[in-house]
Each structure stands twice: as structure tokens, then as C-alpha cells.
Amino acid sequence: MSGLYRDEGVVLRTIKLGEADRIVTFLTLGHGKVRAVAKGIRKTTSKFGARLEPTSRVALQCYRGRELDVVTQVETLEANRVLREDYSLLTHAVPMLEAVDQVAQEREPNPALYRMLTGALRTLGERRATLVTPAFFWKLLSLEGFHPVLDGCARCEDADEELVAFDLEEGGVLCRACARGGGRPISESALTLMRLMLHGGLNSALAEPSGGAGHEVEQLGIRALEHHMERRLRSAALL
């Protein structure tokens, strides 16, 4: 299984290794999550330059190693520089990268996840619509098989009652009577926004001002992801 291979990937994160190297984690199109050493990347003369920064999409060539691969060539496909230069965009991009890092499996291709991530980063940069991030969280959960119940009470299945809370254990919204037993309050506008995001109305959802309802959907998405991953999404603390 050794040898050279080519693929394209998004840089999820990088960590220092020794004096001059970095370990770069990619989500690749054809090989799933890949961790590879970029040798000499921290030297000013590095052939990789600034091409391996989180959010960058690159064409890469790697040498397959036993544990870590070694990056041998990199070419920028989408620098996504605006995402690193604008703090508010960066704080909305990094939690998506962290969530993908948690969910993606090493060497298991997941083209749907790859397309979702590259699309979300592009939209975030082009439209500066920070609602991309909560929409991404909910779509990621959906891709993982978690489809929240939004059109009726998740506990008693009553569709006529007013829906006032969201319960992570039940996996959906609760009516007022059932909400007495738990769940987090959810406003009607946040619920409307979530329905738009998850049921094909993403473009209209992104046009919404990123105010109260957007923040609510974002925080709820973070909690739902953390519940699903059974760990904290550290970078989401900035949202």
C-alpha cells in the first residue's frame, strides 16, 4: 500500500512537528481524512509556501507512509484567503473544519461530506453569510443520519400543538406539554429558519439577517453536534 498518490483536499488543521515541519490534516476527495507531514514547511524557503493553511483547497501529491503520509507536492485550487483574513469569517470557518475533523474517517472517502465542506467554505467567503455555519452543522448531522423532527412534537407526535422547545435526546421539537419534561426553548423564527435550512430553502435562509434566530439555530446546532460526537466542539466557543 505504499507509493505516491494524487488527490485534492481541504486543509482542516496543522500542528507543529519538530523544528521545521508540520503535520497537516486534510479532508481529501478520494482518500477521506489524511494526516501527512509537510517537511520543511516552516522554513522561509519552503516549497509549500503559505499554501497549506486551514481552509485552503489544494491539489496534492503524497507518499503513503505507515502511519503518516508525506506531502511531496501542493498546488492551490482555492486559497480561501478571505476566510483567514476576516476574523468573523474565520471564527465561522474553523468550527466547520473541527467538526469535519471529528466526523470524517481516515482513508474512507466521503465525497458528499467533501462537497458539503468545499461548498460551505466557498459560500462563506463569497457571500459573507455566517449562517452558512449553522446550516452546515445541521446538514452534517443529517449526513450522519440524524434528521431532527421539526414538524410535530418529537415525543407525543402531536402536529397541532405549538412547538416551543428542542430536545436533543428526543431528536426534535417538543410541544408545550412535553416541554415541561425537558428540552431547550426554541423561538418560532428559529424553528422556521431551521426548516428552511434542512428542507431545501438554504438560499433564502442565508439571505436572512444573522440576528437572534440565526444565533439560536447556531447554538442549538453546536449542542446537537456535541451530543452526536460525544465531545466538545472547542472552536465553537468563539461563536
Footprint of Zn ion (CB under 5 A):
153, 155-156, 175, 178
Q: Which is nearer to Zn ion, 68 or 149 (CB)?
A: 149
Q: Which is nearer to Zn ion, 71 or 178 (CB)?
A: 178
Antiparallel, parallel or unpaired: β 163-167 and 172-175: antiparallel
Q: How far is the CB of 198 from Zn ion (least distance, A)?
A: 20
Give how far Cα 202 sits from Cα of 133, 134, 188, 193, 205, Å: 12, 11, 18, 9, 5
Q: How far is the CB of 164 from Zn ion (least distance, A)?
A: 10
User: Quick check: 149 and 219 in contact, CB under 8 A?
Assistant: no
Q: How far is the CB of 160 from Zn ion (least distance, A)?
A: 10
- Tell the residue number behind the cell numbers 509556501, with chain if given: 49
Read out DSSP for 125-155?
A: HHH--TTHHHHHHHHHHHHTT---B-SS-TT
Q: Which is nearer to Zn ion, 79 or 168 (CB)?
A: 168
User: Quick check: 235 and 87 in contact, CB under 8 A?
Assistant: no
What residues contact residue 95 under an 8 Å CB cut-off, 6+ apart?
A: 133, 137, 222, 233, 235, 236, 238, 239
Question: Alpha-carbon distance 70 to 61, whole Å?
Answer: 9
Q: Which is nearer to Zn ion, 10 or 178 (CB)?
A: 178
Q: Which is nearer to Zn ion, 153 or 225 (CB)?
A: 153
Q: How far is the CB of 178 from Zn ion (least distance, A)?
A: 3
Q: How far is the CB of 154 from Zn ion (least distance, A)?
A: 8
* Phi, psi dihedral angles at 150 (to 5 degrees): -120, -10
Q: Which is nearer to Zn ion, 175 or 194 (CB)?
A: 175
What residues contact residue 78 under an 8 Å CB cut-off, 6+ apart?
A: 56, 57, 118, 121, 122
- 5: β partners: 62
Q: How far is the CB of 150 from Zn ion (least distance, A)?
A: 13
Q: Which is nearer to Zn ion, 17 or 149 (CB)?
A: 149
Q: How far is the CB of 181 from Zn ion (least distance, A)?
A: 9
> What is the strand order of the sheet 172-175 is part of?
172-175, 163-167, 184-185
